[in-house]
Structure 1
Amino acid sequence: MSPTASTASPSRITYGAVLGSPYVARLLGGTLTGRLPNGMAPVAIVLWTLAAGRGIALGGLLSALYGLASALSQPVKGRMMDRYGQSAVHLPAAVLNSSLLIALPLAAPHGGPALATTIVVAAAGLTAPPLEAGLRALWPSVLPDLRLRHAALALDTGTQGLLYIVGPLLVAALSSTYSPATALTITAALGLAGTLVVATAPPSRRWRPAPTTNDTGTARQLASPQLTSLFAALAGVGCAIGALNVLAVTMSDAPGRQTLSGLLPAAFSAGSFLGALVYGSRNWPGSTTRQLIFSSTAFLVGWLPLLAIRSPYAATAAVALPGAFLTVVVACAYVTTDALTPTGRTSEAYAWLICSIGVGQAAGTALAGRLADHALALAALPAAGATFALTVLLLTRPDQGTVRRNRHRCGHA
């Protein structure tokens, strides 16, 4: 589609048009199902560890290890997709990941040696299929229309938060009705089923990266200062998200309030989903860089009320605002990453982006745990992470001309 045609497209589109495009519903639904283990496995691992009598400390460590291993291995799997295609990576990874999750309670029904359990959990995290990065790489071939692609990217980004609402609730229901081991088995089955849906879809089977170029320009290198600073900023965004879970637990640490611990993350994710629906439904003014700076500023401002709020109910309402702008930050970060990435290494670059957010989340959770006894410092941690992200972006702004010219540009088509 020519730039003129793209500019002349309607200011609003319907999500029915997006989901009705060939393969979009299948790819999006399969990816969400295949990524449910990201929201289910950490909770199922904790509950299984507790049921085995090993204590919350080990359960928390194993849960964090699964998430960290999955995040750190993303770039390697992304690079493998760029070399060998998506199906060649997704299918073996899904089989290994599911097998290891099922093997955890089978190999160690009573908790087993801590070292052996740790190895199995780490291996399961390392083999989690890179579905999110793969889906982002497929959108250009599935949706050549810039407006539809923009809406799909926003919808894709916003729905990711639902995994962390549905996943833990499903694990809790399965564990209470059956057992944590059953929850792990269902987690493995869902991950494998979703990956099969994606990996067997024609766009995924046919996808091959564009040939790698020999462009040596600084702005086109995967390790360019612009990309490195963008990923560093996203680690700050992840830190804010990671701190939220601990903050939710501390604010609900009172008789009769235990169920509120899940409300803050749920409200945050719901805000992200609603923000995605609004953002993806129309064109927005300004370049991608300006949208990224604006949304990062709003993301920071949204956390500031937590410094004065002591009621978990008020905090639940407040966190919907930074959640709404998270979608815009991440969507524009993907577009910026695409604009600054050498041809043929897109999946790897997307995987680095995902890794940056995941590592930031792990760091935010760890820092929040250390600050759990200091209410004001803990409440300030999400804003501190958002401040770091905004500061990095302001100091190292991406090349607006590069981003505007890119065929994956965000919002301003």
Structure 2
Amino acid sequence: MTSSEGGGLHAYVALLCRPHVARFLLGGVIIQFPYAMVNMALLIGARDVYGSYSSAGVAAAVMSSAGALFGPNVGRAIDKWGQKRVATAVGAFWLASIALLGLVLVLRPPYWVLVVVVVMLGVSVPGGSLIRARWRVALRSDPGAMPSALSLTSVAEECMWVLSTPIATALATLVSPVAALVFGVATILIGLHLLLGDSTHEPASLVPGAPLPLRRRREPSDPMIEDTVVLPGVAAPGVDADYPPLPGSLPSDAEADGDPDRDGTANDPAGHASAPEERPAPASSTRIPERLWTPTFAVLLLVLVFYGAFQSTTGIAIVAFAQERGMQAWAGSVSACFSAGSMIGALVYGMRRWPGALWARGEAGVPYSLADACQDHLLGLAIEESARTGREVVTEIEAWATGV
């Protein structure tokens, strides 16, 4: 089923019924569980060990800043060397960093040791970026389904936050902050297995020597070639933009068919061989950095920076207020309400194909958000989804925008 054959929940069902899609979506979402686990364990554990929410807040801010610093570099490495190679190494480092945080919370060393560890925690596997990069490969023949795919991803991610935040809070308050970290380690291992165990839709790396997923060559007679909508950054019918052939690496159609007349090397009537037709060189991979800092991306990044600041300050405020009221175990449930609002927004947004330009849809929600700014869950509903569905599906760009 293509994107135009169904609306509502059928659009999501059609996406999940595609081969190998459910696995990488589930794996990419599960691997994001540690974000809530580590954050809640850090806030509650640092407060217990070092005696104040100020210490916990500074540590959380350092971790977020480190993620913003290292995230784009991890994304660039993934684009260059491939998801499996880089994500495996980064995942191992992430596991070691979480283990060190657990030791810090148990052994109670000087505060500067905690700061060093949270800087290390800024290096993590960008599960959300990996999912969105794979969507681009999975939907190459049906690019019109991309908005629904991104909305489905946002629904799954917000569902993860709805579940993980209360679980993390319950483990950190009722058991121990270390218990939340152990749960996070388990989800990293499960997520890596699901996500990296199947490379069917893994994008090709930019380095020729890196291992590439096998791809069948597309023929003109393949289905969904006709009437295919071509979007910016998506390959045209019959052209594989993510896997451009290297010079001399693949035979031409004429060579494959054994017809010399089609490649410009046939003899003319005089018996002289004509010069082969000059072909344009394959596009250089440097196009990706060149198109990264566009005005649209800069505006989107600015919106997400303020949204990230909103999330960080709200999370600390909720935990502190819940403790003041003697209801600390409920802090996660309150935080989950923000994700529930965003999840509903993503679910509704992806059920249909919206007319008009994306920027117009984003601006349409601004007055609504400003009018109800006192209700923070509406801010998450109106702004986050208008931003998420407009992202470019490139790992480095995703890392710049979200850090995950």
* TM-score, with structure 2 as normaliser: 0.71
Alignment match, 1:322: 379
Give the structure with the larger helix fraction: 1
Deviates more, 1:180-189 or 1:208-217: 208-217
1:140 aligned residue: 136
Query: Residue 99 of structure 1 contacts residue 188 of structure 1 at CA under 8 Å; is this kept in 2?
Result: no
**Are the aligned partners of 1:292 and 1:332 in contact in 2 as well (CA < 8 Å)?**
no
- Report 1:43-62 matches (<5 A): 43-52=40-49, 54-62=51-59
Q: Which residue of the partner structure matches residue 195 of structure 1?
A: 192
Q: Compared with structure 1, are the counterparts of its residues 178 and 263 closer, same or farther at alpha carbon in structure 2 (3 Å cutoff)?
A: closer
Q: Which has the larger radius of gyration?
A: 2
Give the letter aligned to residue 326 of structure 1.
I
Distance 1:280 1:141 in 2: 19
Distance 1:139 1:119, change over 3 A: same
> Residues 115-147 of structure 1, C-alpha deviation per residue, up to 9 Å, x if partnerless?
22221221122x211221111111021234235
Are positions 1:71 and 2:141 aligned together?
Answer: no
Unaligned runs of 5+ in 1: 307-317, 339-345, 359-413
Matched, 1:161 2:158: yes
Displacement after TM superposition at 1:239 (Å): 3.5
**Does structure 2 conserve the Cα–Cα contact (< 8 Å) formed by 1:158 and 1:327?**
no
Secondary structure at 2:293's aligned position in 1? coil
- 1:272 is displaced (CA, Å) by 0.8
User: Which amino acid counterpart does residue 399 of structure 2 have in structure 1?
Assistant: A
- Matching residue of 1:290: 360
Change (3 A) 1:115 1:216: closer
Does the residue aligned with 1:285 lie in a helix, a strand or coil? coil
Q: How far apart are residue 201 of structure 1 and its match?
A: 1.8
State the partner residue of 1:130: 126
Query: Is the deviation greater in 101-110 or in 40-49?
Result: 101-110
Amino acid at match of 1:20: C
State whether structure 2 residue 315 is matched by structure 1 residue 267.
no
Q: Distance in 2 between matches of 1:259 and 1:52?
A: 18
- Any idea what the Cα deviations from partners look like across 1:239-289, whole Å, max 9, x if unmatched? 344444356468768646766654553222111111111111111121122
Q: Distance in 2 between matches of 1:225 and 1:152?
A: 25
TM-aligned CA deviation for residue 168 of structure 1: 2.9
CA contact (8 A) 1:157 1:327 kept: no
Alpha-carbon contact 2:94-2:121 (below 8 Å) kept: yes
Query: Could you tell me whether the CA contact under 8 Å between 1:82 and 1:208 is conserved in 2?
Result: yes
What amino acid is aligned across from residue 149 of structure 1 in structure 2? M
Question: In the TM superposition, what is the alpha-carbon distance from 1:77 to its structure 2 partner?
Answer: 0.8
Q: In structure 1, what is the equivalent of residue 294 of structure 2?
A: 224
1:302 alignment counterpart:
372
- Alpha-carbon distance in structure 2 between the residues aligned to 1:83 and 1:320: 38
Q: CA deviation at 1:102?
A: 1.3
Question: Quick one: percent identity of the two aligned structures?
Answer: 25
* 2:396 corresponding residue in structure 1: 348
Tell me the secondary structure at the aligned position of residue 40 of structure 2: helix
User: Structure 2: how far apart are the matches of 1:175 and 1:265?
Assistant: 15
Equivalent residue in structure 1 for 2:176, among 160, 176, 179 = 179
Amino acid across the alignment from 1:323: G
2:112 pairs with 1:115: yes
Work out the CA distance in 2 between the residues paired with 1:246 and 1:134: 28
Change (3 A) 1:254 1:117: closer
TM-score, normalised via structure 1 length: 0.69
Tell me what 1:97 maps to: 94
> Unpaired runs of 5+ in structure 2?
207-241, 245-281
Does the 8 Å contact 1:45/1:184 carry over to 2? no
Flag the 1:204–1:40 CA change in 2: closer, same or farther, 3 A. Answer: farther
Q: Residue 331 of structure 1: CA displacement? A: 3.0
- Name whichever of 111-120 and 31-40 sits farther off: 111-120
Asked whether 1:23 is paired with 2:71, we answer no
Distance, in Å, in 2 between the alignment partners of 1:222 and 1:282 is 29
Post-superposition offset of 1:17: 2.0
Residue 311 of structure 1 aligns with which residue? Answer: none
